[in-house]
Amino acid sequence: MTPGARPAGGPGGATETGAIRATGLAVDFPLRRGGRLLALDQLNLEIAGGEIVALIGPNGSGKSTLLRAIAGLLPPLRGTVELDGVPITGPDPRIGLVFQEPRLLPWRTAAENICYPLELAGWDAERRRRRLAELLDLVRLDPSAVGSRPFELSGGTSQRVALARALALQPEVLLLDEPFSQLDALTRERFDLELLALWERSATTTVLVTHNIAEAILVADRVIVLSARPGRVVADIPVDLPRPRTLASLEDAFVTRAAREIRAWLGESSGEASAEAAVPDATVADTTVAGAA
Ligand SMILES: Nc1ncnc2c1ncn2[C@@H]1O[C@H](COP(=O)(O)OP(=O)(O)O)[C@@H](O)[C@H]1O
Ligand SMILES: [Mg+2]
């Protein structure tokens, strides 16, 4: 199988690996002033292999906590998180994570950042070089940027580097924590479409945390809404839009209904709707194609 090729199943169809299941999940944190803060509780969630879901919820509802628990970075207080039926007990190369800020190593070039997981995994230089070329193509990173250090890169390019690094070892699961929220609106739309294209070509189960309802609907098979803290799943809204999707997909009458439903759940789950949720989502109606390349 060529890297990035999708095994049987196809977009939206189940693949054999990369299934996530959280059961009765609770995660808490110690507080400096004593006591503990319950971030997630009684959270149940099933994501099929190869599915792409969006995770949306009020600020502090535990979205990042959930991703970190899935990534094996936080041990559950109660319950389990399983990957392909086996509990996740620590960081796992089958799971890639991208954060809101690229978190690149500042002293390494873009290429060295992308290849870092390959080095840790003991890949020799020639194999790393070949994989780097594939990854640049996969995330559409301009090869002229690979010798630059993070401070020389734009926000969008840095995020491409972070994405390439997360994909380096061909994870079964890609966790994206508001990865495009610091990009301007047009760049963000382009990234949404590229994420879709990447997902169409790869076998990767994808969980995208976003505050943007239009973004959630555009990319996802399902939009999962979390309650206010402690977070649990309060709504699971299927997005029945045909694929491949384009920005024109957002003109479908279904989108208005789905957006309204998501917004209602957000308003309900946060008591008072969070700022992002309350603001009418201009991009739902705005279907301008991001022309800038
Ligand atoms: N390391 C930590 N220590 C203490 N509290 C934390 C820690 N990480 C997150 N929290 C708290 O857990 C709750 C959920 O946080 P988070 O998962 O970041 O929410 P979201 O990503 O939905 O905004 C918040 O109240 C946050 O302050
Ligand atoms: Mg967060």
Q: Of all atoms in ligand 1, which is nearest to the CA of residue 65?
A: 17
Q: Are 267 and 187 part of one and the same domain?
A: yes
Query: Which pLDDT band, with edges at 50, 70 and 90, does 93 fall under?
Result: very high
Ligand nearest to the CA of 28: 1
Pocket test for ligand 1, best of 28, 31, 38, 64 (most atoms within 8 A of CB): 64
Question: Pick from 113, 147, 170: which residue ends a domain?
Answer: 170
Question: Same domain, yes or no, for 162 and 75?
Answer: no
Q: Beta strands 173-177 and 95-98: pairing type?
A: parallel
Ligand that lies nearest to the alpha carbon of residue 59, given by its number in the listed order:
1
In a domain, 42, yes or no: yes
Q: How far is CA 98 from the centre of its chain?
A: 7
Tokens of 264: 């209602």
**Residue 210 in domain:** yes
> What's 205-233 look like in SS3?
EEEEECCCHHHHHHHCCEEEEECCCCECE
Do 158 and 199 lie in one domain? The reply is no
Who surrounds ion ligand 2 at CB < 5 A?
A: 63-64
Pocket of ligand 1 (CB under 6 A): 29, 37, 39, 57, 59-65, 229
Do 29 and 158 belong together in one domain? no
Query: Which of these ranges, 10-19, 123-132, 149-158, 266-275, has the smallest mean pLDDT?
Result: 266-275
Given this model, what pLDDT does residue 14 score?
A: 61
Residue 100 covered by a domain: no
**Minimum-distance ligand 1 atom for the alpha carbon of 57:** 22
Model pTM above 0.75: yes
Task: Yes or no: say if 210 and 216 are a contact pair by the CB < 8 Å rule.
Answer: yes
**Nearest CA residue ID for atom 25, ligand 1:** 60
Q: Are residues 109 and 72 in the same domain?
A: no
- What are the pLDDT digits (tens) for 114-154? 999 999 999 999 999 999 999 999 999 999 999 999 999 99
Q: Judge if 86 and 189 occupy the same domain.
A: yes
Q: What is the pLDDT of residue 151?
A: 97
> Which residue owns the Cα nearest ligand 1 atom 11?
39
Report CA(181)–ligand 2 centroid distance (Å): 11
Q: Over 60: is that where the pLDDT of 13 sits?
A: no
Instruction: Confirm whether 32 is domain-assigned.
Output: yes
The larger pLDDT score, comparing residue 217 to residue 275, is at: 217
* CATH number, domain with residue 200: 3.40.50.300
Number of residues that this document lists for the chain: 293
Of ligand 1's listed atoms, the one at least distance from the Cα of 226 is 22
Residue 287 in this model has a pLDDT that exceeds 50: no
Contacts of 62 (CB under 8 A, 6+ apart): 27, 39, 40, 43, 226, 229, 230, 231
C-alpha dist (Å) from residue 81 to 43, 51, 106, 217, 283:
10, 17, 33, 25, 34
**Cα distances (Å, whole numbers) of residue 97 to 59, 89, 178, 237, 257:** 20, 16, 11, 24, 31
Q: Which of 25, 27, 28, 29 to mutate to test the pocket of ligand 1 (most atoms within 8 A of CB)?
A: 29
Q: Which atom of ligand 1 is nearest to the CA of 61?
A: 22
Number of structural domains (the chain) is: 2
Tell me the residue range of the domain where 78 lies.
1-94+181-287
Distance 127 CA to ligand 2 centre (A): 35
Kindly state whether residues 135 and 188 are assigned to the same domain.
no
